[in-house]
Structure 1
Amino acid sequence: MARKIMGVVLAAGASRRFGARDKLAARADGEAALVLRSAKTLRGLGLYKRAAITRSPRLPKELRGAGLDFLCIGAGRAQSASLHRAIHAAQASGASHLLIVLGDMPEVSRTHLRQLLRTPGPHPMMATSDGRLAPPALIPRRLFGAALRLTGDRGAGALLRRTPDLRRVPLPPGTLRDIDRPEDFHNAPQ
């Protein structure tokens, strides 16, 4: 059976460590906003559906024209609320898998996502780089129920790390770097 994959950018974080500005709207070296860069990585992958999970029902101007469905969880919700919203959308759409991409990981490219999606089998998958296991991640439908039981500030990684058939997809060094503070833009690997 062919996989029917829904891709989702998680972009509902509060950006508390970033200061007064919204980090997902921040630009690095004059390039597109972080969240738009992440959204663009989902294009051209043959995904069944594409969406972004946001805090606000207002369409973020950085994502206009990105071709995504927007799913709002509201402000002040725990990290697990974003995952739950993504899982519910994947279930409702009939997706066989959910591809999770974070809105604050500028080094993850479409090529990296293709590498993850080319890994054969019905297994859950997570990227690994620099000794770190992190999104992007591919969650099969059989784990949707377990993912909905996660609570608080926990993402799917807590579940996937315990899954015996997890496939680890190696990515180049520095790929899984995320942006938490303004200085992280300047601490990019060379």
Structure 2
Amino acid sequence: MNNAFLCCGILLAAGRGRRFDPTGQQHKLLQTLSSGTSVITTSAQHLQQALPLSIAVIAQTPDAIRLALDALQVPTYPCLDADLGMAHSLRTGLQHLPDGVDGFIIALADMPFVSVQSIEAIRDCLSAGAEIVVPVYAGQRGNPVGFSKKYVDQLLRLEGDRGARQLLQSAPVTEIVLHDAGILQDIDRPEDML
């Protein structure tokens, strides 16, 4: 790994999780996993362990998400138009990248099962010169995804709810095979908590 390579984690945590609870009573990121910690805390801890320089994009509510991230000392930035799609949350994160970063990894807060080692592997691949890194498990692409800083401008122009997928279909991508089913496991419904 290139020790001079500065990589930042961007945790996208601004979604409402309507599929988890259409009534809005229970936010999926605040649910407790079998480990005893919440979804948001686990996702943030894994990202922070691999990338001490990490930030999070949140919605304006609920405050409990911000408080959980504050407890981990992860800087948070509210996305005022998060309801318009993931690209807006991503844009907020990119606008708050610290100066001097060489690359960044976009992680989804509803994916707490991604291992620290997987995030480190993506970081190391970026550090070795890859410009976009996508993890693969059992032949399927997953998350998080790593980018060289050269893609900031293109990502800032994205719109809608597809996030960075548009760019992944048109730019050269380095796939790395990982033995981590967590890169495919998100929490959309209560049964996904198991």
TM-score, with normalisation over the residues of structure 1? 0.87
Map Cα deviations across residues 45-80 of structure 1 (whole Å, 9 max, x no partner).
354x31110001746232232121101003523211
Kindly report which structure 2 residues correspond to 1:1-190, keeping only aligned pairs within 5 A, or say none: 2-19=4-21, 20=24, 21-29=26-34, 31-45=36-50, 47=52, 49-56=53-60, 58=63, 60-74=66-80, 76-90=83-97, 93-119=99-125, 120-164=128-172, 166-172=173-179, 174-175=181-182, 176-186=184-194
Tell me, what secondary structure is at the counterpart of 2:71? coil
Map Cα deviations across residues 3-59 of structure 1 (whole Å, 9 max, x no partner).
221111110011010113100111122521111101101234354x31110001746
CA–CA separation in structure 2 for the residues paired with 1:23 and 1:17? 9
Tell me, what secondary structure is at the counterpart of 2:188? coil
Change (3 A) 1:117 1:56: same
Map Cα deviations across residues 137-187 of structure 1 (whole Å, 9 max, x no partner).
1111111111111101011132123212x111212252221110011113x
CA–CA separation in structure 1 for the residues paired with 2:152 and 2:104? 9
CA–CA separation in structure 2 for the residues paired with 1:23 and 1:64? 18
CA–CA separation in structure 2 for the residues paired with 1:124 and 1:97? 9
* Gapped regions of structure 2 (runs ≥ 5): none
CA–CA separation in structure 1 for the residues paired with 2:67 and 2:187? 20
Preserved CA contact (<8 Å) 1:147 1:159: yes
TM-score, with normalisation over the residues of structure 2? 0.85
Map Cα deviations across residues 98-127 of structure 1 (whole Å, 9 max, x no partner).
111111112201111111122221421111
Tell me, what secondary structure is at the counterpart of 1:18? coil
Change (3 A) 1:28 1:46: closer
Give the % identical residues. 27
Q: CA deviation at 1:94?
A: 2.9
How many equivalent residue pairs? 183
